[in-house]
Amino acid sequence: MKRHSAVTRIWHWINLACVVILFMSGLNIANAHNRLYWGSSGFEEGTEWLAYSDFPDWALIPGSYNLAAARDWHLLMAWPFAFGLLAFLVLSLVNRHAQRDLTTRPREWRWSNIREDIVQHLKLNFEHGDAKYNFLQKVTYGVVVFVILPLLIVTGLMMSPAMSASLEVFLHLLGGRQSARSIHFICAFALLGFLVLHVALVILAGPIGQIRDMITGGRLEAER
Amino acid sequence: MKRRSAIAVLAAGFLAGCKKVQESAPMKRLFAANDGFHEGLHNVLGRRTALAREYPASMIDHNFRGNGSRTVDTPEYRAQLAAGFPDWTLEVGGLVDTPLSLTLDNIRRLPQRTQITRHDCVEGWSAIGEWQGPQLSVLLEAAGLNPAARFIVFRCADTLSGRRYYESIDLVDAMHPQTIVAHRLNGEDLPEKNGAPLRMRIERQLGYKHAKYLTGIEAVASLDDIEGGKGGYWEDRSGYQWYAGI
């Protein structure tokens, strides 16, 4: 059996390309108004929960402030990002990747198990026997694919005035358009945090083997 | 050190690549087509009938932000503003049976719609205000829209960086019940920074569509020969998306 299914591998790399372009064009869009608010409306200085200075040019797509071009990129890449995630989630339910690897069992939530997992991570010991993912991996990947990525899509859609008119219930659940914008921003940076941690752990676990397996599929340890 | 410079070279290469791709003809066509994909999806999800949310009066922002043009920089406008716009006229023309020329008084006497809606700027901020004015559909029906008409163009008195502001929408938005020619904001005559004496409200599109300092409404079959040909000031000048529902 392959370590990563073809569905997981294809989606992983498409999603990486989408996330990089969406994040960098998103920072360019974020530079158009440097304050974040809660609620439906927000524009006045002093009513924000966060004010930030401009993101630097090297982090932007395109490489300097250009709201129109950044929106072109952002709104284009939103399609493969959203429909790619949808396809991945559906196919992962079908091939049971979601049930098997991305959800936890009640017994895994015991403190002794969690503590052991943390200790092994701190010791940089990444062997975890016959289980594909350990507890911390399951929780992290689960939160990313079931919470952060879907929230990015829904909050993105709800910033659209036409979409929020057609599907107002979602805007209501999110607490208004400025709340949607704030949650979009928070999720984007949570995803950046995940990316940094993910890449760091791949490097510590042996980047060549890890990246090779995510391209070719690799083999599960037990069968080697 | 070597690895770091390799990463810098890769990053610079990636950005240069993006720029190159962005400026290629197929990518420009794809970006333009993508505008239409989003509009198509919105149409499927109910844009033809959906109403933008209307808010309770308690949520009104009393100092409604003014953005873009905040005035019309001519002595004639200043004189009109001081006198309450006695000579301001709104021309309704183009592909119509009966062109109209309306004074503010004419506009105030038409059936009015009042709506408390959220204004979403392309920059990211939002403001809630109460707008009042006749529905655009009432004006277009009074003028008698010609079957060849496909777009409605809004002519404005203001200029930005030396170019006259204008905008345009399709007939779906033009005939929408919440599309109004507003002359009042939050119970008062429209303030100067918000487009006095008249501005458009097109509630399911971003703020740059809501033309201010309105002087003319023109029904046309094509946008190609109007100003820069892309259907609006920001569309011509900076490549903003013509369909601004997203």
Q: What is the pLDDT along chain A (224 residues), one digit of tens a residue?
A: 788 999 999 999 999 999 999 999 999 999 999 999 999 999 999 999 999 999 999 999 999 999 999 999 999 999 999 999 999 999 999 999 999 889 888 888 999 989 999 998 888 888 766 667 889 999 999 999 999 999 999 999 999 999 999 999 999 999 999 999 999 999 999 999 999 999 999 999 999 999 999 999 998 765 44
Q: Which positions in chain A touch B3 (Cβ < 8 Å)?
A: none
- Omega cis (within 30) before B75: no
The alpha carbon of residue B235 and the mean position of all alpha carbons in its chain are separated, in whole angstroms, by: 11
Interface contact flag, B128 A162, Cβ < 8 Å:
no
Chain A interface, Cβ < 8 Å to B: 21, 29-30, 32-33, 35, 37, 40-44, 58, 61-63, 66-69, 71-73, 75-76, 79, 159-168, 171, 177-178, 181
- Secondary-structure breakdown of chain B: helix, strand, coil percentages, each rounded to the nearest 5: 35, 25, 40
Query: Which residues numbered 209-238 in B keep a CB inside 8 Å of some CB on A?
Result: 234, 238
Q: What is the pTM of this model?
A: 0.94
Query: How far apart are the C-alpha atoms of B135 and B121, rounded to whole Å?
Result: 22
Q: Identify the three-state secondary structure at position B30.
A: helix
* pLDDT of B47: 80
* pLDDT of A201: 93
Q: Contact, B29 vs B233, CB < 8 A?
A: no
Interface contact flag, B45 A61, Cβ < 8 Å:
no
Left (φ > 0), alpha (ψ -120 to 50) or beta: where does B186 sit?
left
Q: Contact, B133 vs B201, CB < 8 A?
A: yes
- The residue of chain A with its CA nearest to that of B20 is A62
Q: Which positions in chain A touch B23 (Cβ < 8 Å)?
A: none
For strand B214-220 and strand B89-94, is the pairing parallel, antiparallel, or unpaired? parallel
Residue B14 neighbours by CB under 8 Å, 6+ apart: none
Query: How far apart are the C-alpha atoms of B47 and B177, rounded to whole Å?
Result: 12
Give A69 to chain B, closest Cα distance, Å.
7
Query: How far apart are the C-alpha atoms of A79 and A62, rounded to whole Å?
Result: 19
For A186, counting Cβ atoms within 10 Å of its Cβ (0-12 exposed, 13-18 middle, 19+ buried), the class is middle
- The residue of chain A with its CA nearest to that of B178 is A165
Report which of A221, A222, A201 is spatially closest to residue A211, judged by C-alpha positions: A201
Query: How far apart are the C-alpha atoms of A159 and A154, rounded to whole Å?
Result: 9
What is the ipTM score, two decimals? 0.93
Token duo for residue B184: 């009042």
Of the residues B31, B126, B170, the best mutation for testing chain A's interface (the one with the most A CB atoms within 10 Å of its CB) is B126
* pLDDT of A129: 63
Q: Contact, A133 vs A101, CB < 8 A?
A: yes
Token duo for residue A58: 């090297």
Does B18 lie at the interface with A, CB-CB under 8 angstroms? yes
What are the pLDDT tens digits along chain B (246 aa)?
567 788 778 888 888 888 888 889 999 999 999 999 999 999 998 887 899 999 999 999 999 999 999 999 999 999 999 999 999 999 999 999 999 999 999 999 999 999 999 999 999 999 999 999 999 999 999 999 999 999 999 999 999 999 999 999 999 999 999 999 999 999 999 999 999 999 999 999 999 999 999 999 999 999 999 999 999 999 999 999 999 999
* pLDDT of B18: 85
Which residue shows structure tokens 């064009």?
A25
Of the residues B125, B130, B209, the best mutation for testing chain A's interface (the one with the most A CB atoms within 10 Å of its CB) is B125
pLDDT in tens, A51-70: 999 999 999 999 999 999 99
| Number of A–B residue contacts, CB under 8 Å | 127
